[in-house]
Structure 1
Amino acid sequence: MLCISFWRGMKVDQKDRFDSLSELFDEAIIIVDEAGVVTRSNAKAFDLLGTQITYNPLDNFLRHPDFLTALDAASSMGKKTDLNYTRMGHVRRDFKIRIAPYEVDEIILIIFDTTLENSVERIQSEFVANVSHELRSPLTALAGFIETLQTSAKDDTEARTRFLEIMQNEADRMQRLIDGLLSLSRVEAEEHRPPRNQVDLMQLVETVVAAQQHRAGANNMEIVVRNEWPPQDELPLVRGAEDELSEVFHNLLENAIKYGRDGSQIDVRVTTGRGINQQFRPDLVRVQVINIGETIPEEHLARLTERFYRVDKGRARSMGGSGLGLAIVKHIVNRHRGRLRITSSAGETCFSVTLQGIKKD
């Protein structure tokens, strides 16, 4: 962890040296005067709080109830203070702010990103709680069947065959549950780090659709891809992780097949996204997965991405659903700084994923 004394040892007039050395560290580093006005900062601080912080009061950009008290303690008493700080944006980010005296009439702030550390602790706790809760029912069922096979049904060939089939289904469900929880935990742990690779979204969507056509065909369904991007413009790439985006559209298509009407068509549309004002924006790429089936009541839409949430629990379990697929989709889309929107009316349900486009190199 960065040493405060290292920075205190630098002289005030060595701005160039501060600029050079501060860029060697991963932490955001900010120097303020006694009034809390920013006099110097590094690029990491600009990334976190914006370039407009320079020569402005820092508490305009960094809101914390104890911030001014900590500045006063550093200025008047030479006291070092650590504050925990959370920024709620597209994804939650946690920080520890170390505030300490610097040179005469100046205070240094070093901001450590503790998001991953805090996320790992929270995810581990949630993983254990979820596994304990969700595995209790199938394990109880398995224990009951084993006891029956050992006693009253031990000589009943027909019952034994039926029970073993049920036990296999329960074991498969537990395996899907554990796999889903591990996948969700992995995505959540990386959610605060947006991916950096370039992905051809159209090509990825076509690959996923080709892989899902057989599953759709088994239900007399067909998946149709529609490229509705304006013909005069080139479809941009997106910044992303190809395997994670593939998982998003596999999950959405599996969901569309599972809950779509037998013999219906699933549309996958690639088009321009819309901004906050609902105007089309050519720098946004939107992929819609649309199926025909039962309308999802409005009160359920906002909760569909909660882990283990099911509109029809019995139907979801009978179809092999774990209740984690859409939660995984949500967290992957969040990691890509994208937007997931779900609508359902007149039997048509649409899952819409909007991502930021980038120009091809």
Structure 2
Amino acid sequence: MDQAQIKAWIDALGIPALFVADDTRIIAANDLAISVYNLNVAGLIYSAALRQPAAIEAIHACLEYHKIQTARIHHTENCTDTVFDLRCAYIDKGLRGVLITLKDLTDEGKNTQLHRDFVANVSHELRTPLTAISGFIETLQGSAKKDEEALDRFLGMMARQSARMDRLVSDLLSLSRIEAQERQRPSDTVYLHDLLATVIESYKAQDVEIISQLNAHDHAVQADADQLHQVFSNLIENAVKYGQAGAPITVTTKNVACDARLRVPAIRMSVCDTGAGIDPIHLPRLTERFYRIDGHRSREKGGTGLGLAIAKHIISRHRGRLEIKSKISQGSEFTAIIPTR
């Protein structure tokens, strides 16, 4: 294998790759490797070009012992930190030297951290009601054992904490199912206005004042009716909980010939309240799991911190997007934008 063939082979790889000849020169590097180092390293001595002790040691050992070597390296370029698994394999056919490949582990590290954060958050959310229930049980077994008034009060508190855990577990299971289905496009035919009207009627039956401004032209889309029902219910429920007490909620739909971001025809379904509004600093994080602006207030109102995360995943499964607008003292607007074709 000559130098041109080696260059052709590493260019075909989907990861950064370099080839170091026996004379310690880098004789080929693909575009991905060049982008990592922001430099065309071909022709340079590997120790001068790479400048990472772990990488240099692995390449040196591979050149000397002709055995596969691996290393974990951290690379910083333009204030961006990247973690790579470096693998060195010796080639002794034709042009002799070491083939070096770099596997980017940055996303894996982020996913691991997200998993740790998720487990920590779930543990915290469950520990709080469990601690409360344990305290109530201990009290009822002790000083309040024969106090009927205390018994009724504590049992009521225990029921509320138990219901809170039930909601949390239910939302966690729902989120898990939705994530598992996210790459499976829904295939049922659903009329969006009919579905939204059903959700609105269910809240009107609960004496919630809702102003409906639905576009006369309904759209049939390929969707999962139960999941979209969950999205609309969640958005209206949030408006009821966090909007101005007693003020009406406005639900509107609008047909869009071509959504600017989705680049396809779509329907916008918005839920507006006239509550206190949300500080703009919070808007980018509202759909994160367990993210709350006011944790105590959210829990008091029965929130699990997962509703908007669930809504975002459902809308994503339908190839749409969730848009959130809010101004302090002027209320909030949550919009589900669903492609109509």
TM-score in terms of structure 1 length = 0.61
Residue of structure 1 equivalent to 2:242: 259
Q: Which amino acid aligns with 1:332?
A: I
Instruction: Indicate the SS of the match to 2:135.
Output: helix
Which residue of 2 is the match for residue 225 of structure 1?
A: 212
State the match for 2:16 in structure 1: 65
Q: Which amino acid aligns with 2:292?
A: R
How many matched pairs?
246
Deviation at 1:126, TM superposition (A): 7.9
**Alignment partner, residue 177 of structure 2:** 186
Q: Is the 8 A contact 1:307 1:323 kept in 2?
A: yes
Instruction: State how far apart, in whole Å, the 2-side matches of 1:213 and 1:58 are.
Output: 61
| Aligned CA distance change for structure 1 residues 281 and 187 (closer, same or farther; 3 Å) | closer
Conservation of the 8 A alpha-carbon contact between 1:273 and 1:281: no
Q: Is the 8 A contact 1:292 1:347 kept in 2?
A: yes
Give the CA deviation at 1:336.
Answer: 0.9
Match of 1:303 in 2: 285
Partner of 2:307: 325
Corresponding position: 1:148 with 2:148: no
Q: In the alignment, which residue of structure 1 is the partner of 2:128? A: 137
RMSD: 3.2
Per-residue CA distance 1:197-222 (angstroms, 9 max, x = gap): 2211111100111112133x1xxx41
Q: Report the AA paired with residue 144 of structure 2.
A: A
Question: In 2, Cα distance between the equivalents of 1:179 and 1:124?
Answer: 19
Q: Report the residue type matching 1:226 in the other structure.
A: Q
Do structure 1's residue 272 and structure 2's residue 255 form an aligned pair?
yes
* Superposition deviation, residue 224 in structure 1: 1.9
1:244–1:66 CA distance, 2 compared to 1 (3 A): farther
Question: Does the Cα contact within 8 Å between 1:123 and 1:189 map onto a contact in 2?
Answer: no
Counterpart Cα distance in 1 of 2:123 and 2:266: 41
Q: Does 1:248 align with 2:245?
A: no
3-state SS of the aligned residue for 2:213?
A: strand
Question: How much does 1:133 deviate?
Answer: 3.0
In the TM superposition, residue 67 of structure 1 has moved relative to its aligned partner by 11
User: In structure 1, what is the Cα distance between the partners aligned to 2:271 and 2:258?
Assistant: 19
Distance 2:259 2:269 in 1: 17
State the structure with more CA Rg.
2
Deviations 1:247-300 (Å, cap 9, x if unpaired)? 10011111111112122111111102375658x988211100111111111111
In 1: Cα distance, 2:257 partner to 2:299 partner: 35
Q: Secondary structure at the match of 1:199?
A: strand
Q: 1:348 aligns with which of 331, 334, 339?
A: 331
Structure 2: which amino acid aligns with 1:351?
Answer: F
Q: Could you tell me whether the CA contact under 8 Å between 2:249 and 2:271 is conserved in 1? A: yes
Q: In structure 2, do the counterparts of structure 1 residues 178 and 152 end up closer, same or farther at CA, with 3 Å as the change threshold?
A: same
Structure 2: any 5+ residue segments left out of the alignment? 1-6, 20-27, 31-111
Q: Is 1:294 aligned to 2:276, yes or no?
A: yes
| Matched residue type, 1:227 | L
The 1-side partners of 2:135 and 2:129 are apart by 10
Q: Match of 1:183, as an amino acid?
A: S
SS in 2 for 1:322: coil
Q: Which amino acid aligns with 1:342?
A: I
Q: Which residue of 1 aligns with 2:318?
A: 336
Return the TM-score normalized by structure 2. Answer: 0.64
Contact 1:272–1:282 (Cα < 8 Å) also in 2: no
Do 1:272 and 1:281's aligned partners in 2 also have CA atoms closer than 8 Å?
Answer: no
CA contact (8 A) 1:154 1:160 kept: yes
